[in-house]
Amino acid sequence: TTIDSDIAGPAPRHHTTQVKVGDVAVGGGAPIVVQSMTNTDTADIDGTIAQVAALARAGSEMVRITVDREEAAAAVPHIRDGLAKRGINTPLIGDFHYIGHKLLAAYPACAEALAKYRINPGNVGFKDKRDTQFADIIEIANKNNKPVRIGANWGSLDQELLTKLMDENAASANPRDVRAVTREAMVQSALLSAARAEELGMPKNRIILSAKVSAVQDLIAVYQDLASRSDYAIHLGLTEAGMGSKGIVASSAALGILLQQGIGDTIRISLTPEPGGDRTREVQVGQELLQTMGFRTFVPLVAACPGCGRTTSTTFQELARSIQDFIRDEMPNWKTKYPGVEELNVAVMGCIVNGPGESKHANIGISLPGTGEAPAAPVFVDGKKFRTLRGPTISADFKALVIDYIEQ
C-alpha cells in the first residue's frame, strides 16, 4: 500500500488585518488568542481584580469586563492599577452598551485604562440621533489610540436593519428565509458599522469584528460569510452556549469547524458557570480546543485511557486526575519556566492492553496494572522503558519523574 504522507490539516489562516490590543497581537497571522470575561460587578474593585487575576493566571490573554454604569466606569482605573501592583498587565476590554458614549466621555481615566472597547451596534446604532453615540465612542477610541470590537449579537440585533432586510425579502419569506435574513442582518450590521468607523477615521488595524449567535449552524454560516466579505480581524464565540457539557460541546463544534477553515483570530468560550463554579473553566476549554487541534500549546497535554473493566481500582482515575490537576496548577507558565520545551505529552494508562504502546508515543507515560497484572507500573520515557514504580507512592513518584523530565 502506498501511503500518502500529505496529511490533511487546517486550511491556511484567513488573511486579516492585525490589531494590537495592549501588547497582544490579534489577527494578521498572530497566534490565536484566548480571552474571557468576568462575571463580577465591575464596581466591586477587589472582587474584579481577584477574578481578572485568576483568569489571567489560568491563561486568559485578554479579559473583558462590563462597564455598565458610572460606578463601574469609575472603578476601571483602580482595577487596572490594582492588577499592575500584582504584576498583571493582561489587557482589559470594556464591554459597553446603551450609555457607553456617556461613560467614556465622563470618565477619561476609564477610557485610558482600557485596552479596547467592545461596542454592540444593535444597541448603539448609527442611522438616526443615535448616530452620535457610535461616532462619540469612535472619536474617544481614536483620541486614545484604542481598538474597538464591533460585536453584533443575535439577541440584540439592529432592529431597523433587520426590518429593512425582512421587507426586501418579504416575497420569499418562509421560516428558513427568516433565519437566512437574520444571518445577513448580523453580517451587514458588523460590516456597515466597521465601514462607518473607518469613515470616522478609525484605521482598519484597530477594528475587530464578531457576530455571535447561539445556534451552531447559524454561527458557522455567519462567520464564513463575514470572513469571505472582509479582512477585519475576527473574534469567535458562540453566544449563550449554555451550561456544562452542552456549552463545551456546542462551542467546540462551532469554533472547531471555523478554526479548521482558517477563520478566527481570537476566541472566547462562553460557558454558563455552575452555581459556585469556577470562571476559569472557559479559559481552560479555550486553550484545550486550540491545543488539541494543534494550533497552539499552552500546558503539557495529558492523554489518559477511559478506563474499563480491566482497571483494577480507583488508583488509575485518581492518578490521571491528579496528574492533570498537578500540571495545570503547577505549570500555567511552564514555557516561561522551562524555556525551550515547546510541547510535552504525558500518558496515564490503565493496563497493559494499550498502556505501554500509548505511553511509548508520549514524552513520558505510565501504565498502571490492570486486573490480574503484577502490581507494577512501568514508566516509559521517549519511547523506552525507563523504570518500574511500585507501592503506595506511585502518584508522587510519577509526578517527580515528570518534573525531572521537563527540567532535563
Residue 144 contacts residue 186 (beta carbons within 8 Å): no
In this structure, the number of other CB atoms found within 10 A of the CB of residue 81 comes to: 13
Phi, psi at 158, each rounded to 5°: -60, 110
Which range binds ligand SF4 by CB under 6 A, 74-82, 89-97, 260-268, 345-353? Answer: 345-353
Residue 217's H or E segment, with its range, is helix 216-228
Interaction of residue 365 with ligand SF4, rule CB under 6 A: no
Interaction of residue 310 with ligand SF4, rule CB under 6 A: yes
Interaction of residue 303 with ligand SF4, rule CB under 6 A: no
d(CA 136, CA 133): 5
Nearer to ligand SF4, 349 or 364 (CB): 349
Q: Three-state DSSP class for 301?
A: strand
- 61 annotated to bind ligand: no
Question: Closest by alpha carbon to 306, among 249, 344, 354, 252?
Answer: 354
Residues 6+ apart with CB under 8 A from 314: none
Interaction of residue 354 with ligand SF4, rule CB under 6 A: yes
Task: Give the nearest distance from C-beta 366 to ligand SF4 in angstroms.
Answer: 12
Task: Give the nearest distance from C-beta 248 to ligand SF4 in angstroms.
Answer: 22
- Lay out the site mask for ligand SF4 across 92-121 (x = CB under 6 A, - = otherwise): ------------------------------
Nearer to ligand SF4, 56 or 351 (CB): 351
**Degrees, nearest 5: CA angle 344-30-231:** 140
Which range binds ligand SF4 by CB under 6 A, 206-214, 293-301, 308-316, 320-328? Answer: 308-316
Task: Give the nearest distance from C-beta 320 to ligand SF4 in angstroms.
Answer: 10
Nearer to ligand SF4, 151 or 378 (CB): 378
Interaction of residue 276 with ligand SF4, rule CB under 6 A: no
CA 231 centroid distance within chain? 20
Q: Which of 195, 243, 308, 376 is the binder for ligand SF4 (CB under 6 A)?
A: 308
Residue with cell 484545550: 288
Q: Residue 234 half-sphere exposure, CB side, CA atoms within 13 Å?
A: 30
Q: Which three cell numbers stand for residue 147?
A: 481598538
Residue 54 contacts residue 83 (beta carbons within 8 Å): no
Interaction of residue 378 with ligand SF4, rule CB under 6 A: no
d(CA 319, CA 398): 9
Nearer to ligand SF4, 220 or 351 (CB): 351
- 110 annotated to bind ligand: no
In this structure, the number of other CB atoms found within 10 A of the CB of residue 130 comes to: 15
Amino acid making up residue 85: K
Nearer to ligand SF4, 270 or 311 (CB): 311
Nearer to ligand SF4, 306 or 372 (CB): 306
55: left (phi over 0), alpha (psi -120 to 50) or beta: alpha
Question: Closest by alpha carbon to 263, among 215, 285, 231?
Answer: 231
Nearer to ligand SF4, 117 or 316 (CB): 316
Task: Give the nearest distance from C-beta 372 to ligand SF4 in angstroms.
Answer: 12
Interaction of residue 307 with ligand SF4, rule CB under 6 A: yes
Annotated binding site for [4Fe-4S] cluster: 305, 308, 351, 358
Annotated binding site: 305, 308, 351, 358
List residues near ligand SF4 by CB under 6 A. 305-308, 310-311, 349-351, 353-355, 370
